[in-house]
Structure 1
Amino acid sequence: MTYPHWHTVPLRWKDNDVYGHVNNVVHYSLMDTVINTWLVERGGLDVAAGPVIGLCVESHCAYHASVSFPDSLRIGLRVAHLGRSSVRYEIGMYSATGALVAEGHFVHVFVDRENRRPVPVSGKLRESLEELLVTA
């Protein structure tokens, strides 16, 4: 799989559950973090006070292998679809050895902060998402 952006995240002791591996909720948190880090740093999204926010309307994660602290994950990010007001991200999570740990998708709809109605993805935000766009 091709991912235009990669982000390495060290796992934390608290990410392990009682079974000794990273709990499934951590995978979702990492997807959300990698996406929003991109949006803030590259897209100029102001999550605290900007007029536009992204709402998650769909997410999915398929698990392929176990991983645990003190490992780290290399997380690949791409955009599979960029619409007028929505975007579908695809994420791949790989262990330090290169094994696929999990893969998922995450859909944002960008809305006006006040009225929560969809708004066009435009300007710097759209440009940053186009950088991640991978077409089949």
Structure 2
Amino acid sequence: MNKPAPALRNAYRHFLPITTRWMDNDVYGHVNNVVYYSYFDTVVNEYLIRAGVLDVEHGETIGLVVETQCNYFSPLVFPEPVEAGLRVARLGGSSVRYEVGLFRAGEAQPAAQGHFVHVYVDRATRKPITLPDALRAALLPLVVALAE
């Protein structure tokens, strides 16, 4: 399997500083791989909440993860700060492909990059719905054109 080339910092549209925690490190002395996915969740949901398009307690629409993937290029460690870059690679009818790069403070190349595909569903029925207009409008500034 070929590892993709890392996307540089300027390929992302939104950034969130994340403070690593002591508990993020594993016995090998670096941030454990499962924690990277927590950082992915954090930058996506922070953006949506601040944009006013995600109400985690009462919203009628929620996003369910149907696919996720991460490539690791270099280890992150506690107590270094992380900057999570976010972009949207695909904005579909009921789904979104969020792409995330995790960067050491100020570095151009990510320590890791990956993606989540969320399918948006009705909270009660769990059936896919068309992306609400407000959600689509909030995501448009994050959309990037990717080479095929």
TM-score band by shorter chain is: over 0.9
Q: What is the Cα deviation at residue 22 of structure 1? A: 0.2
Detail structure 1 runs of 4+ shifted over 2 Å in the superposition: none
2:22 is matched with: 13
Stretch moving more, 92-101 or 81-90 = 92-101
What's the CA shift string for 1:31-53, capped at 9, x where partnerless? 01110111111142111111110
Q: What is the Cα deviation at residue 131 of structure 1? A: 1.2
Q: What is the Cα deviation at residue 97 of structure 1? A: 5.3
CA distance in 1, matches of 2:38, 2:76: 15
> Structure 2 unaligned runs (5+)?
1-7
Stretch moving more, 89-98 or 10-19 = 89-98
Equivalenced residue count is 136
Alignment RMSD = 1.1
Greater per-residue strand proportion: 1
Matched to 2:144, the amino acid is V
What's the CA shift string for 1:14-38, capped at 9, x where partnerless? 1111111000011000001110111
Tell me if 1:80 matches 2:101: no
1:36 is matched with: 45
Using the aligned pairs only, state the percent identity.
Answer: 51
The answer to whether the 8 A contact 1:43-1:127 is kept is no
Relative to the length of structure 1, the TM-score reads 0.95
CA distance in 2, matches of 1:40, 1:72: 22
Stretch moving more, 94-103 or 20-29 = 94-103
The answer to whether the 8 A contact 1:43-1:129 is kept is no
CA distance in 1, matches of 2:17, 2:49: 17
> Structure 1 unaligned runs (5+)?
none
Stretch moving more, 28-37 or 93-102 = 93-102
